[in-house]
């Protein structure tokens, strides 16, 4: 049945289902991975039940832990080298390091998490995954 819905949705938006990369790009913009127009999120991290434009079902997709892992990986690769570089070159006082880097890490995490979750939801939709598959 999911294939029927996907093919009907795809026909109304250009004739074919978007590729995985296209769906990820649309998801990174927090848009519907199918049409790229409707909102994929109804809140900061809450996936909407269905796209308000093309009616693609998104509410069953569970991204769970992968977006936070990606966020930690990216933020860590930005903050740690910057911290080490700043310490090696500028030798700032400890209070500055203790204040600056947790704030930067928090801001980056809050900014990246919804974007990365959108990309993961787009990828999962394009691959036909719901997040409840059994191995």
Q: What is the DSSP letter of 46?
A: P
Tell me the two tokens of residue 63.
């991204």
Tell me the two tokens of residue 32.
């519907």
Q: How much is the pTM?
A: 0.85
Of 64, 133, 17, 86, residue with least CA distance to 26: 17
Q: What is the pLDDT of residues 8-41, one digit of tens each?
A: 455 455 668 899 999 999 999 999 999 999 999 9
Domain segments of the chain as ranges? 2-9+17-127
Categorise residue 41: left if φ over 0, alpha if ψ from -120 to 50, beta otherwise.
beta
Q: What is the pLDDT of residues 53-107, one digit of tens each?
A: 999 999 999 998 999 999 999 999 999 999 999 999 999 999 999 999 999 999 9
């Amino acid at each position: 049945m999911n294939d029927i819905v996907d093919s009907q949705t795809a026909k109304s938006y250009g004739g074919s289902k978007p590729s995985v990369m296209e769906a990820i790009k649309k998801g990174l913009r927090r848009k519907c991975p199918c049409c790229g127009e409707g909102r994929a999120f109804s809140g900061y991290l809450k996936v909407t039940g269905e796209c308000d434009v093309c009616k693609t079902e998104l509410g069953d997709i569970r991204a769970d832990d992968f977006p936070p892992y990606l966020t930690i990986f990216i933020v860590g690769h930005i903050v740690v080298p910057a911290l080490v570089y700043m310490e090696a070159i500028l030798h700032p006082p400890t209070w500055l390091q203790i204040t600056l880097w947790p704030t930067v890490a928090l801001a980056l995490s809050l900014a990246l998490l919804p974007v990365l979750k959108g990309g993961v939801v787009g990828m999962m939709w394009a691959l036909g995954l719901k997040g409840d598959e059994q191995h």
